């Protein structure tokens, strides 16, 4: 049985930290949205068995699109 990285305690701690759920104050809805967005990225990596090369290629593509204001 393969361990899904999303289910590891380290990733769950990271998600709470990156979303700010471990901090008082802030916008609770924004925290939940960030938690979901980043969490779904980990689920995508698990579901599609994304390699390190594929991950960084996708990051580079998103960076290129963002720098050219291709989103929205």
Collapsing DSSP states into helix, strand and coil, what is residue 66?
helix
pLDDT digits (tens, 9 = 90+) for 28-55: 999 999 999 999 999 999 999 999 999 9
Q: Rounded to 10 degrees, what is the CA torsion of 40, 45, 46, 50? A: 160
What pLDDT is recorded for position 39?
97
What pLDDT is recorded for position 67?
87
Contact 5, 41 (CB under 8 A): no
Give the ranges where 1-50 is alpha helix by DSSP (H): 9-19, 28-48
What pLDDT is recorded for position 1?
53
Contact 6, 43 (CB under 8 A): yes
What is the rounded CA–CA span in Å between residue 5 and residue 51?
13
Residue 19 has pLDDT above 70, yes or no: yes
């Amino acid at each position: 049985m393969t361990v899904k990285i999303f289910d590891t305690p380290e990733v769950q701690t990271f998600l709470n930290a990156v979303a700010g759920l471990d901090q008082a104050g802030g916008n609770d809805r924004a925290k939940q949205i960030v938690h979901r967005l980043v969490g779904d990225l980990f689920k995508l990596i698990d579901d599609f068995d994304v390699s390190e090369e594929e991950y960084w290629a996708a990051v580079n593509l998103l960076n290129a699109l963002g720098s050219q204001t291709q989103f929205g």
